[in-house]
């Protein structure tokens, strides 16, 4: 197993030498060192795994910097590397690796930095922000800080409830106004309200889709399927799908009524 890992690492190093600012390649290199560490248990492999992610983090932060200062000497960059989620994903993976090593103190520090960055770049109710707050709660819980973990979980639950309630209410208001416009012969007003309602429905669909993708994040693999925070995330996803299903069912019933 170690020989295969060494061969893959050599190939990865060769590719990264030719593409030194390729973040996905650095993340793959991290996974290779994690796999090697699981067999060798050598501190050197652990350090290389962390260094690969930190190098990817530096590249991602540089790529997203305003003005892209310094890119002239490195050539063009992949547009995907400028996505705001990229450095946050790397931080999330780094925290998960610290958790995998049992170093929950370092995992907490990394997750706190991640949550602060999420607040700066995303809405408070963004799926990545909510999942990061829950992952921070899990790290706190695993480090024996249950009270702080419960506060984080409560904060995430309040934000989700506010967002879902706001979207559901706005959707039904638009749908009701659409029905009112059709009944009174104002088709233009009705069409406008219907379009607004569909916008809210589309946002709910995108939100639920993102939440489902986050089920496969690294921290869930470290914590395991029966961890209380992972179960809480499943409850969040269930609430989201319930609101989405309610809006879709209402839309279909109204369509059948007017057909």
Contact 113, 91 (CB under 8 A): yes
- Would you say residue 6 lies in a domain? yes
Q: Which among 213, 200, 214 is positioned nearest to 243, based on CA atoms?
A: 200
- Predicted local confidence at residue 189, as pLDDT: 46
* pLDDT of 12: 92
Q: CA 16, 22, 28, 29: dihedral to nearest 10 degrees? A: 40
The tokens for 77 are 């960059």
Q: Which of 134, 155, 156 is nearest to 228 (CA)?
A: 134
Same domain, 118 and 201: yes
Closest by alpha carbon to 98, among 161, 54, 39, 160? 54
Task: Identify whether 227 is part of a domain.
Answer: yes
98 in any annotated domain: no
Task: Return d(Cα 17, Cα 37) in angstroms, integer.
Answer: 22
144 plus 63 within the same structural domain: no
Tokens of 111: 């997750």
* Domain-terminating residue out of 17, 52, 83: 83
Residues 3, 35, single domain; the answer is: yes
Confidence at residue 60, expressed as pLDDT on a 0 to 100 scale: 82
Buried b (16+ CB within 10 A) or exposed e, 182-192: beeeeeeebee
pLDDT at 43: 93
Residue 88 within a domain: no
Dump pLDDT digits (tens) for 188-243: 544 444 455 568 888 999 999 999 999 999 999 999 999 999 999 999 999 999 99
pLDDT for position 44: 94
Task: Indicate whether 147 and 27 sit together in one domain.
Answer: no
* DSSP category for residue 73: T
pLDDT of residue 236: 97
Q: Is residue 232 part of a domain?
A: yes
Does 64 map to a domain?
yes
Residue 244 falls inside a structural domain: yes
Claim to verify: residue 156 and residue 65 sit in the same structural domain? no
| Domain range enclosing 213 | 106-259
**How many domains does the chain divide into?**
2
> Tell me: the pLDDT tens digits for 166-177?
999 988 887 776
For residue 76, the model assigns a pLDDT of 55
Same domain membership, residue 257 and residue 151: yes
The token pair at 195 is 């379009």
126/242 same-domain check: yes
pLDDT score of 254: 56
Whether residue 242 sits in one domain with residue 156 = yes
pTM: 0.85
Q: What is the pLDDT of residue 1?
A: 74
* 171 shares its domain with 52: no
Domain-located, residue 146: yes
Residues 232 and 161 in one domain: yes
Statement to judge: residues 21 and 114 lie in one domain: no
Regarding whether 70 and 184 lie in a shared domain, the answer is no
Low-confidence ranges of the chain (pLDDT < 50): 70, 72-73, 75, 189-194, 259
């Amino acid at each position: 197993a170690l020989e295969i890992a060494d061969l893959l690492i050599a190939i990865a190093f060769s590719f990264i030498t030719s593409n030194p600012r390729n973040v996905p390649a650095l993340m793959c290199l991290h996974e290779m060192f994690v796999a090697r560490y699981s067999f060798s248990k050598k501190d050197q492999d652990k350090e290389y795994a962390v260094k690969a992610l930190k190098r990817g983090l530096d590249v991602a932060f540089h790529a997203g910097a305003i003005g892209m200062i310094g890119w002239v000497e490195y050539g063009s960059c992949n547009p995907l590397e400028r996505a705001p989620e990229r450095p946050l994903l790397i931080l999330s993976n780094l925290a998960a690796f610290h958790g995998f090593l049992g170093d929950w103190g370092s995992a907490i520090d990394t997750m706190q930095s991640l949550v602060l960055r999420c607040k700066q770049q995303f809405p408070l109710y963004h799926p990545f922000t909510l999942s990061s707050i829950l992952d921070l709660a899990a790290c706190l819980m695993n480090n024996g800080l249950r009270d702080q973990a419960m506060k984080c979980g409560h904060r995430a639950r309040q934000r989700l409830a506010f967002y879902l309630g706001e979207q559901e209410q706005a959707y039904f208001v638009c749908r009701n106004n659409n029905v009112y416009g059709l009944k009174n012969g104002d088709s233009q007003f009705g069409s406008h309200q219907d379009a607004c309602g569909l916008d809210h429905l589309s946002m709910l669909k995108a939100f639920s889709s993102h939440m489902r993708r986050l089920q496969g994040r690294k921290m869930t693999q470290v914590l395991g399927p029966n961890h209380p925070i992972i179960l809480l995330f499943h409850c969040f996803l269930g609430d989201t799908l319930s609101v989405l299903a309610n809006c879709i069912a209402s839309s279909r019933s109204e369509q059948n009524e007017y057909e």
